[in-house]
Amino acid sequence: MANPLYDALFAPLAGQTRAFFHLPDGAAISGAAFHDMIAELAMGLRAAGVAKGDRVAVQAAKSPRAMAIYAASVSIGAVYLPLNPAYTAAEVDYFIGNAAPRLFFCDPSARAALAPIAARHGARLETLAANGAVSLPLSGGAGFAPAPCTGADLAAILYTSGTTGRSKGAMLSHDNLWSNAQVLADVWQFTADDVLLHALPIFHTHGLFVATNTVLVAGASMIFLPSFDVGQVLAALPHSTVMMGVPTFYTRLLDSPAFSRDLAAHMRLFVSGSAPLLAETHAAFEARTGLAILERYGMTETNMNTSNPNAGARRAGTVGMPLPGVELRIIEGGAEVPQGAIGMITVRGPNVFRGYWQMPEKTAEELSADGWFSTGDLGMIDDLGYVQIVGRAKDLIISGGFNVYPKEVEMALDAADGVLESAVIGLPHPDFGEAVFAVLVAQKGVDLDAGAVLASLSGQIAKFKQPKGAVVLTDLPRNAMGKVQKADLRKAYGDWFSKPS
């Protein structure tokens, strides 16, 4: 029996002598060498007791070795679980407890803090350093053969946040990932001659699946940067053909006087996602480079759903049209609305996930028996068939491409000295798309220092969740039922991050 994801993405690397990874120090890793790395890690995972269906969790710096652990996991039928390195030990405790991985890789510097968590939940703890060094015993890839899997078998679990309850583990199958990569490579016209400038993190669907899987299915290569650094990106652009990024990448490039039309002349495609791209950024980028950014729409549970065309008008403020094989409807009150009307975006297709890990009730709530997934986004389809996202049906904040669950931040704020209550909202931000903003109410008789409250969150929650601004009010606006009116707060402070400093 075949292994769909290994067969499609990783098996073709064997024997490939040309570079697959181009690294910042000038070194390169060929496709064949990367395949050898995958085979060796696969044998190491098996020797450590990882079997088909077991979870392998990784919270470590971006590196080719980290990418190889993803490939090795799916090749033996295991389920890959990437975790943001910014998560605190308290946050990791939930993910490890919920997913119950057989093996958990962490950075060597975090081993002491995470060892009790791994032990409590029965996970074997190993380390993976930024330079690729692993503590897992490895003895070569001799005898490696992929495990037989079906397209319905799980390949990964990625945790996503909602506005109520705990983070949810989205279960993604071999077919979910393979089908989306194949469609994207075709729609975006990837070929083996393409070189992707990869500056995204690989704990997120954007960098791990959308970018990397598309490169793999096309037989292309990539310049693999540890993170987004303006200087490194500018140096790599003349050697690249495609770049995928979040809006922050593009605003920071535009902030650099060195970013010019000549520097981008070798590029054929810039793609943006994970957060809304401001129309002003779209226009400024096209004026600077002569190239229109291609914006698309996806989410953890579905990978990509829509895309502006590779050949055709890329309309600012839209996320394009449904991808081949993806059905998209706008629903209001259980019925499809007329074109141009606003409603809930729902999608169905081979890209749509299998459900939420150990949350059957939540799965049934958002994923219908006939395969329609309710995205939680409000949108419309315009007169040309382009999808526009007009807002979120829930209070989820997407800041710099990362999901922020407001209730979690509010709980941390409410526990701070002198805080009676809080409301956390997302406000438009020219760099991050949305920025987390806190509205605080002081306890009686307390002269609350908003800056001190925000500083107290350090070490409690990941930095990307921490508010970038705050105000103190005497009370929060509420309706007759006592519900906080966050829409009023967004209206009142909507220009907070665009005001002159």
Could you say which of 243, 266, 292 is where a domain stops? 292
Residue with tokens 């073709």: 12
Residue 412, in any domain of the structure: yes
**Share in percent of the chain as helix, strand, coil (round to 5):** 30, 25, 40
Query: Are 145 and 4 contained in the same domain?
Result: yes
Domains held by the chain: number: 3
Query: Are 264 and 126 contained in the same domain?
Result: no
| Dist CA 429 CA 249 (whole Å) | 13
Residue with tokens 């033996």: 76
CATH number at residue 480: 3.30.300.30
Query: Are 118 and 9 contained in the same domain?
Result: yes
pLDDT in tens, 339-397: 998 889 999 999 999 999 999 999 999 999 999 999 988 889 999 999 998 766 767 78
Residue 438, in any domain of the structure: yes
Residue 274, in any domain of the structure: yes
Query: Are 402 and 472 contained in the same domain?
Result: yes
Residues contacting residue 206 through CB under 8 Å, at least 6 positions apart:
200, 244, 246, 273, 274, 298, 401
Residue 299, in any domain of the structure: no
CATH number at residue 252: 3.40.50.980
Residue 142: name the closest of 34, 6, 39, 10 by CA.
39
Given this model, what pLDDT does residue 161 score?
59
Residue 367, in any domain of the structure: no
Given this model, what pLDDT does residue 479 score?
59
For 197, the domain range is 188-292
Query: Are 100 and 208 contained in the same domain?
Result: no
- How many CB atoms are closer than 10 A to CB 372? 18
Query: Are 57 and 142 contained in the same domain?
Result: yes
Residue 486, in any domain of the structure: yes
Could you say which of 292, 325, 350 is where a domain stops? 292
- Asked if residues 291 and 309 have their Cβ atoms less than 8 Å apart, the reply is no
DSSP secondary structure, 118-181, as one string: HHHTTPEEEEB-TTS-B-S-----TT--PPP--TTSEEEEEEE--SSSS-EEEEEEHHHHHHHH
Residue 87: name the closest of 122, 59, 127, 55 by CA.
59
Given this model, what pLDDT does residue 258 score?
97
Given this model, what pLDDT does residue 342 score?
84
* Paired tokens of 184: 């994207």
Q: Residue 424 forms beta bridges with which residues?
A: 438
Query: Are 144 and 2 contained in the same domain?
Result: yes
Query: Are 3 and 95 contained in the same domain?
Result: yes
| Dist CA 188 CA 269 (whole Å) | 8
Residue 441, in any domain of the structure: yes
Pick out the chain residues at pLDDT < 70.
Answer: 1, 161-165, 391-392, 394, 479-483, 500-501
Query: Are 201 and 286 contained in the same domain?
Result: yes
Query: Are 6 and 136 contained in the same domain?
Result: yes
Residue 412: name the closest of 454, 450, 378, 352 by CA.
454
Given this model, what pLDDT does residue 358 score?
95
Residue 328, in any domain of the structure: no
Could you say which of 292, 317, 333 is where a domain stops? 292
Query: Are 136 and 224 contained in the same domain?
Result: no
Query: Are 12 and 128 contained in the same domain?
Result: yes
